[in-house]
Amino acid sequence: MSRDLVVLIVDELTKKVLNSFAHWRKDTLDLHELFEAGGNDPEARTAVFDIVERLVKEGLLAEEGNDFYSLTEKGKAAAK
């Protein structure tokens, strides 16, 4: 297996977070826009917060300051 080949197993809510950028047609989103991936369910919105933190740690999202985030190249590939 190539070192460049990355296989990601992503749950549905994580997919929604990653696809939020395409949905909103923006390069950067604030945390409140990302919360929309969880809908009106408070538990899902809490899960979105945890997912965003994990995606930053994994290098799929970049923190842009003031609760704004953008997809990294790795994140763009995972969102496809």
Residue 55 to residues 10, 11, 48, 59, 66, Cα–Cα distance (Å) = 11, 12, 10, 6, 17
Q: What is the pLDDT of residue 10?
A: 61
Neighbours of 42 (CB within 10 A): 9
Each residue's pLDDT tens digit, 36-50: 999 998 899 999 999
Q: What is the pLDDT of residue 80?
A: 84
Q: What is the pLDDT of residue 12?
A: 87
Identify the segments of the chain with pLDDT beneath 70.
Answer: 1-10
* Domain segments of the chain as ranges: 12-79
Q: What is the CATH number of domain 12-79?
A: 1.10.10.10
